[in-house]
Amino acid sequence: MKKEFLMFLFALLIIPIIGIFIIWSTQFYSKMYQYPFYYMPYPFKKVVITEGANSCMLKDGSWSQVVLTDSDDMFIQNETAPKVVAFIISILNLMVSLLVYILFDFSNNQFQFIQEHYDLSFYDIYLGVDGISIYFVLLTTIIIPIALMSNWNSITNNVKSYLIIMLLLETLLLAVFLVLDILLFYIFFESILPPLFILIGLFGSSNKVRASFYIFLYTLLGSLFLLLSILTMSSIMGTTYFDALLKSNFDYTIQIFLFCGIFIAFAVKTPTIFLNNWLLKAHVESPLGGSIVLAGIVLKLSLYGIFRLILPLLPKASLNYTYIIFVIGVITIIYASFSTLRTTDIKELIAYSSVSHAAVYLIGVFSNTIQGIEGGILLGLAHGFTSPALFFIVGGVLYDRSGTRLIHYYKGIAQMAPLLSLLFFIFSLANCGVPLTLNFVGEFMSLYGVFERLPLLGLLASSSIVFSAAYSIFLFNRVAFGGSFSKFFENSIIDLTKREFYALIFLGVLVVFLGIYPSIILDGLHYNVSSLIYSYGCKFCLG
């Protein structure tokens, strides 16, 4: 690997930080007509201003800073410019991740693009990517631009703070997938919590404070068990590097202790039954961009952590406790599905749907079969595309236009927004797991892996197919059809804007194209997953 290529991973972390510095340190102003005046060019439209004022009221009712020069030229604070900067930064990071993907050698199961940085006197930063983490890196860099586009018009106050938090989240999420040290993994794993807390607390809806504390307390308490397990590993092995720990073979009693601690932390992040209250409140109260990041990336941290800390390091415990995890997963699927059928909040319905699908890929990866593990990864990626798209539709299109999340207020939207209804239909089918979508491939392979281990529990887990079809079809039918359109929203519901259309069609193309050609992902996964199965199979025999 050429030396200049090795800096790509470091660039993935630095580019958002550069964007944060630019947004934070720069004042964005637009020159307007000479003072005094009453009309402004797009996007400011009509304003109200008085002589001697240093601020003006925009069309949406918010106030913006004004600068008057000696020549009576007026400059008004431009809230669109920092959004454009943040979006360009996120697209640049996406291009870098695509370069890493193109240059990646999928016939090699070792970590690649390995970089060591000794800039910190007290610790070394050890970066690398393998055939599994590369897909989570791509998922992160794809979803962040979508999240930035989703709140383009709805966030009008503290815009710079919102953009800085989103770019900071991108850096921290990428760091989780790139670091090759379990202690740094834990640090970045927990560092995501404060930005999410602030994001929901500042930009959420009416019960945002309660939701912020729920996500903070649940995830923090769960992660204490993860920290205890990591410190135990470090004290036994004398190192926290992944590549050194891969050569370890812990005693079975120690494996049980470590497995319980790590799984509790990841069960909170998945989340499973009895540990999902924080996710529902966070999704419902979070701003749309926060919901997209939560559903698309944050919920995948537990999936990635299983591949890093449980399957390769604790093979005997993961095999022997498969039955318990299957039972937890099946109960979570049934509970979340029934809860989805009874909810009346359109955003809460998508949140419950996320819990159900997360339980499916959880039991898939713990099936300890090639098909189940690969299916779990595929379903995690598919959910990372489909769930943000559904949140975009219900939270960024329907809610922004109507101001309500109650399902029974919606009906007949297909009459006034046919393009929105068409894309909503495609993502509803993907959420059901119908053929020709990536969700179908991932769900089928995950359940196939469960059937190979425990056919009875596999049969119960397959109920997710029926339930997902029930609530997805009900939601679409109620919103798109369901009778004449309500006159209350007649003047507020319009079809998709160009921004909304481009974001949704991009995710739709990914879901359908990868569903037709899943080999694009499977060919890259197969060698790494086979090596993983072989390595912990050998450890199980030796143990």
Query: Is the residue at 419 inside a domain?
Result: yes
- What pLDDT score was predicted for residue 493? 65
Tokens of 293: 């990041």
Query: Is the residue at 179 inside a domain?
Result: no
At residue 27, the 3 state secondary structure works out as coil
Counting every residue written for the chain, the total comes to 543
Tally of CB atoms within 10 A around 381: 26
User: What would you measure as the largest C-alpha separation in the chain, in angstroms?
Assistant: 83
* DSSP result, 371-410: HHHHHHHHHHHHHHHHHHHHHIIIIIIIHHHHS--BGGG-
**Pairing status of strand 74-77 against strand 29-31:** antiparallel
Q: Which domain range does residue 74 map to?
A: 29-78
Among 78, 94, 112, the domain-final residue is 78
Tally of CB atoms within 10 A around 21: 12
Query: Is the residue at 488 inside a domain?
Result: yes
Query: Is the residue at 203 inside a domain?
Result: no
7-16 residue pLDDT tens: 788 889 999 9
Query: Is the residue at 328 inside a domain?
Result: yes
Token pair 């809610």 is found at 399
- What pLDDT score was predicted for residue 118? 56
User: Can you list the pairs that 490-496 forms with residues at least 24 positions away whose Cβ atoms lie under 8 Å?
Assistant: 490/416, 492/401, 492/402, 492/403, 493/398, 493/401, 493/402, 493/413, 493/416, 493/417, 494/401, 494/416, 494/417, 495/416, 495/417, 495/418, 495/419, 495/420, 496/397, 496/417, 496/419, 496/420, 496/423
Query: Is the residue at 299 inside a domain?
Result: no
pTM for the complete prediction?
A: 0.90
**Average pLDDT, rounded, for the chain:** 85
Exposure b/e, 324-355, CB count within 10 A at least 16 = b: ebbebbbebbbbbbebbeebebbbbbbbbbbb
Among 78, 94, 115, the domain-final residue is 78
Query: Is the residue at 343 inside a domain?
Result: yes
Token pair 């944060």 is found at 20
* DSSP result, 45-113: -B-B--TT-SEEE-TTS-EEEEEE-TTS-EEEE-SHHHHHHHHHHHHHHHHHHHHHHHH--TT--S-EE
Q: Crossing angle of helices 418-432/438-453, nearest 10°? A: 10
231-242 residue pLDDT tens: 999 999 888 888
Query: In total, how many domains does the chain have?
Result: 2
- Residues in the chain with pLDDT values less than 70: 1-6, 27-78, 117-123, 483-493, 536-543
Query: Is the residue at 330 inside a domain?
Result: yes
CA triple 372-267-111, angle to 5 deg: 55
- Are 359 and 336 within 8 A, CB to CB? yes
- What pLDDT score was predicted for residue 41? 40
